[in-house]
């Protein structure tokens, strides 16, 4: 076993930024807006680095698909402890239509090329909320998957994953190689401090084109329209409990 | 004289400044307060006192990292976990 873990990281609009829809309704405003690593991807990187620190795996490779700026996200992953990065260059129209299907094809090709033992991803991106890339990657590789992981442990040639599901927690044991997607409570990601960022500058980021991996980026989806969510209705104030009961009956809540 | 300590102080300032970019009240607010906090102590010469101040600065770094993590965790939890 190569002992190599592939971690996918995505550059998204920072979680704290107020999103604005573009006037032409084709998307959201991204120019000049603060971007950072998807929070679930941070958790994925942290898990991979933790596994390396426990000496359960040997190398953490951070991958990101996108234009030049995606390298910043890879640098953050390197600062958190990844060993090297792979930047899959996708720009222009291809980047606008880049979705889980294309990314999972890229990740599957890379997982095979790098002989990865484990592919760890965030469960979903906070910009598109697809929650599909991990699952699709596993399907393309015909590997088992442990999604919504809140706990991951290596047990010989298998991985034990505790999954967060609607009814509570589910524990599964899957064979390596496998795909795992990180949920919120998997770990506490470390902060990429300035000294770590400086040290990470020495680490290598390889540049790859999707064509080199034999991946076709055509999208089967077309975004028709992007709208803002409906405005929240103002609340009503009532004077007494009877008023409250009356209002609730009026609006059909009870 | 206080040269190695000077490097420590500068390192601390740079690290705090970097962290301040994500401060909820804005990086400008953070930088102003950071600068005045450091300027307040600029005449301290006792190495022991300087070491104590640097240690307090390192503590503030840890506090900021915890603040950022909690903010992010709470935001993600609120957005992705349905109210029961």
- The string of pLDDT tens digits covering residues A189-216 is 999 999 999 999 999 999 999 999 999 9
Going by pLDDT thresholds of 50, 70 and 90, the confidence category of residue A1 is low
pLDDT digits 0-9 by tens, A232-250: 888 778 888 888 888 888 8
- Indicate whether A2 pLDDT > 90: no
CB-nearest partner of A194 from B18, B71, B81: B18
Interior angle at CA A31, CA A87 and CA A73, nearest 5: 25
Question: Can you tell me the ipTM of this complex?
Answer: 0.89
Going by pLDDT thresholds of 50, 70 and 90, the confidence category of residue A230 is confident
Average pLDDT over residues B45-72: 94
Q: How far A247 CA lies from chain B's nearest CA (Å)?
A: 23
Going by pLDDT thresholds of 50, 70 and 90, the confidence category of residue A187 is very high
Domain extent at residue B64? 4-80
Among chain A residues, the shortest Cα distance to B17 is held by A194
Query: What percent of chain B stands above pLDDT 90?
Result: 82
- Using a CB-CB cut-off of 8 Å, the residues of chain A touching B20 are none
**Touching A: B residues 44-73, CB under 8 Å:** 61, 65, 68-69, 71-73
User: Is B18 in Cβ contact with A15 (below 8 Å)?
Assistant: no
CB-nearest partner of B75 from A15, A195, A197: A15
User: Is A188 in Cβ contact with B71 (below 8 Å)?
Assistant: no
- Using a CB-CB cut-off of 8 Å, the residues of chain B touching A194 are 14-15, 18-19
Q: Please state the domain count of chain B.
A: 1
Query: The pTM is what?
Result: 0.91
Average pLDDT over residues A120-140: 97
Q: Which pLDDT score is estimated for B84?
A: 62
Q: Which pLDDT score is estimated for A246?
A: 86
Going by pLDDT thresholds of 50, 70 and 90, the confidence category of residue B2 is low
**Cβ-based burial of A23 (10 A; exposed 0-12, middle 13-18, buried ≥19):** exposed
CATH fold label, A4-251: Rossmann fold (3.40.50)
CB-nearest partner of B80 from A184, A189, A193: A184
């Amino acid at each position: 076993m190569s002992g190599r873990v592939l971690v996918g990281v995505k550059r998204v609009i920072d979680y704290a930024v107020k999103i604005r829809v573009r006037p032409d309704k084709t998307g959201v405003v991204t120019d000049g807006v603060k971007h950072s690593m998807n929070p679930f991807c941070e958790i994925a990187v942290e898990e991979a680095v933790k596994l390396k620190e426990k000496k359960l795996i040997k190398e953490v490779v951070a991958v990101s698909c996108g234009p030049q700026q995606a390298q910043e996200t890879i640098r953050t992953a390197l600062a958190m402890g990844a060993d090297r990065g792979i930047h899959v260059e996708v720009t222009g129209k291809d980047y606008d239509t880049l979705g889980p299907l294309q990314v999972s094809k890229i990740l599957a090709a890379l997982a095979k090329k790098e002989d990865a033992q484990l592919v760890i991803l965030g469960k979903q991106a906070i910009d598109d909320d697809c929650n599909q890339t991990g699952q699709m990657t596993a399907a393309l590789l015909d590997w088992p998957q442990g999604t919504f992981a809140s706990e991951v442990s290596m047990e010989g040639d298998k991985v034990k994953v505790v999954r967060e599901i609607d009814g509570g927690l589910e524990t599964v044991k899957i064979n390596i190689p496998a795909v795992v997607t990180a949920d919120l409570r998997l770990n506490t990601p470390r902060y990429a401090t300035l000294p770590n960022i400086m040290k990470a500058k020495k680490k290598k980021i390889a540049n790859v084109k999707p064509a080199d991996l034999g991946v076709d980026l055509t999208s089967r989806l077309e975004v028709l329209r992007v709208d803002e969510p409906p405005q929240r209705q103002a609340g009503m104030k009532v004077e007494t409990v009877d008023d409250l009961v009356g209002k609730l009956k009026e609006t059909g809540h009870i | 004289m206080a040269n190695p300590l000077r490097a420590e102080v500068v390192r601390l300032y740079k690290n705090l400044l970097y962290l301040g970019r994500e401060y909820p009240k804005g990086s400008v607010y953070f930088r102003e307060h950071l600068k005045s906090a450091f300027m307040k102590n600029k005449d301290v010469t006792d190495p022991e006192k300087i070491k104590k101040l640097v240690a307090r600065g390192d503590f503030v770094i840890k506090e900021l990292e915890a603040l950022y993590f909690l903010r992010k965790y709470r935001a993600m939890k609120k957005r992705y976990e349905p109210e029961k």
